[in-house]
Structure 1
Amino acid sequence: MPVGSISSSNDTVGVAVVNYQVPVLETKEEVIENCHRIADFVDGTKLGYPGLDLIIFPEYSTQGFHPTKWKDLCTTVPGPETEIFAEACRRNNIWGVFSITGEINPKGNPYNSFLLIDNQGNIKMNYHKMNPWVPKEPWYPGNETMVTEGPKGLMIGANICYDSNMPEIVRDTVMRGAELVVRIQGYMYPSKEQQIKLASIRAWENLSYFAVANMAGRDKVYSYFGHSNIVNFDGTTLAECGSSPDEVTYAELSISAIRNARKNWTAENHLFNLTHRGYSAVPNGEFEIPYSFYKTWVDNPQQAREICEKLTRSTPEQQAEQKPEAIS
């Protein structure tokens, strides 16, 4: 696929990812000021890339992740922050992906939320992070992958940071129809090498476009490595930022190209071959699930957890129960 353009067409979706400067915010007033800064990025990026259809900002780009005041900065969806983003999308006639950390949750701790807003200012998707990063993230886990139709009909799926380390989440998102998986992240050193490689791996194994927006710079706790990138469905990199804060990069994603590959590829069509094992030898291929762990997980989730814990570790609560009482 050609790279290096700032245009798009009826068949291509122009996508930009932002290495947003990690904000260090302590009040809601500062959060609103930062939202206006994000809106200015939308304006400037559309001016520089006239083919822009979708702009993507990282996890934590709205409220940051203050180590002690994060709960004070939580908000509602919709709310004053999302209205600023919606207006920026409307006036630029583009779609945007934005982060809310956290979204007030009546069931308990706040959600870590991925918002897709269309060019009319409507919230088209509000995805809650399914696998918050333990042991540091306090967010209430979501329980559903999400996919929706995006600009020019491209099907968009959501992931947030640690979600994409779980191949099951990306695969489930793609099997629900995603042609572009968007990963918003606030990933820090020393995980740079692994996370950059992961985008190409997930794209290739799922025959899917993959776009990553990451933070850059330092807050009160971590240093974030940037390297926001856009990856083709064959795993090759179309565009990539460096490590400097506030870099933006851009690529065109062809809708017809990915649909052609999924429909017509035989070798390397990982999605088709997953449920048509060995169809070169067996008529139509085998379709029964052969993976014993996944069968167990569906039929007996507690047993699956026990299998996992034998390989890895128990929870802190279990460790506390197993700890012998001190002898007085």
Structure 2
Amino acid sequence: MIRYTRRSLLAPILAACLFGAAAHAAPAPEDYPQKPLRVVVPYTPGGVSDAVTRLITRKLSDELGQAIVVENQGGANGQIGSSAVARAAPDGYTFVIVVMAHAINPSLYKKMSYRPLQDLRGVSLFGRIPLLMVSSAALPPRTFEEFVAWAKANPEKATFASSGAGSGAHLVAERFSQITGAKITHVPYKGISPALPDLFSGQVAAIFDSVQTMWPQVKGGKLRALAMTSETRWPAAPDVPTMGELGYPDLVTGSWIGMLAPAGTPDPLVRKVSDAVQRVLDQPDIHAQLIDYGIDPVGGTPAQFDTFIASEAKRWADVIATAGIKLE
């Protein structure tokens, strides 16, 4: 008669579990990646984040030796695509591209289907996107200082446009108002293009937006460039002072773009992708193209990107609370 002990019954079960875990274990860094990667852009095709992602992933594919599929999942200020990646298997094959909205959404929305700062982890900060502050050429101010003085003297005319409530341009303008004491009123639009006619006519006084979008209008004489939110003067606009030069270091800010992975993705795999991104960013042609997009290439380690996101979340949470901004 065969007698079954508890140990003998459990042994095959434990062996099966261990075999299953090994079968699904992440590959060693030297063997990774073994199949194509998927990168989700949580915005519609054709925008800057989409264009930058495709530019970088074409070169990243060469660095990693695997195809990279870029997938657009737009909606809810980046939440739909980001939420899908947050729920994806943390196996090193799914990533998401995020911008400034990723850090500010928790302060804007009462309910979210995922936790942006906990359910996703940093891979690489592609670059910072400084903003150009411009005012209407139809209005008197010609410099930053003149605009601040004019806005304080004409609060009923001091307005600023943005591409929507809670956008980066909106929050930077709110920060400008809080720091300078110039009480300017927010006028949201459904995108930048609808705002331009009102800016040209002076119906709206100012806007913060990318150099790439605004500089042609400055060169055309319809808008006046007042200041850059970059740390140093921008190559395409060398005559425009920075906020730091003007005495407002707290307005050295702007948007940014980078890559995240699901929380729990193994460190060695994340580091391998991060290192490959850095090599891409260091390529002269990619660096030049990003500058043309109005993006200052950065790179850095996954830990540095996580620290940066946390600092951004705190910075904008304070601005949002002071301004009383809430979205549903």
With the shorter chain as reference, the TM-score category is under 0.3
- TM-score for both structures, normalised by structure 2: 0.24
User: More strand per residue: 1 or 2?
Assistant: 1
Pick the structure with more helix per residue.
2
Instruction: Determine which structure has greater relative contact order: mean sequence separation of CA pairs < 8 Å that are 6+ residues apart, divided by chain length.
Output: 2
Larger C-alpha radius of gyration, 1 or 2?
Answer: 2
With normalisation by structure 1, the TM-score equals 0.24
